[in-house]
Amino acid sequence: MAKKNDELMGLLAELQSERDALEAAIEGMIGEMADAPIEQRQSGDWAPDGASTRRYLEQSGRLAEVEQAIVDLMRRIATAGKPSD
């Protein structure tokens, strides 16, 4: 049981690290977008179909997946070790 808990805690640490990296990347992209001239936000990389916008959406989607995985894992950790009913 202790080995399984150690594995779950290791996975949790990996997910939290990935979440932190994604959050930092997204914050950086938000800053880049805020600094971009209005013309670039209309027709450049930050346009609705621009490369930066797509990258931002991909990173945001992955962040949502990682956060859900953390929630699910925390539930598994909380129930691990509890006796079955």
Which residue numbers in the chain have pLDDT < 70? 1-2, 81-85
Q: What residues make up the domain containing 65?
A: 49-80
Q: Is residue 54 part of a domain?
A: yes
Q: Is residue 67 part of a domain?
A: yes
pTM of the complete model: 0.85
Helix, strand, coil content of the chain in percent (nearest 5): 80, 0, 20
Number of structural domains in the chain: 1
Q: Is residue 38 part of a domain?
A: no
Max CA pair span of the chain: 62
Q: Is residue 28 part of a domain?
A: no
- What is the reported pLDDT for 40? 83
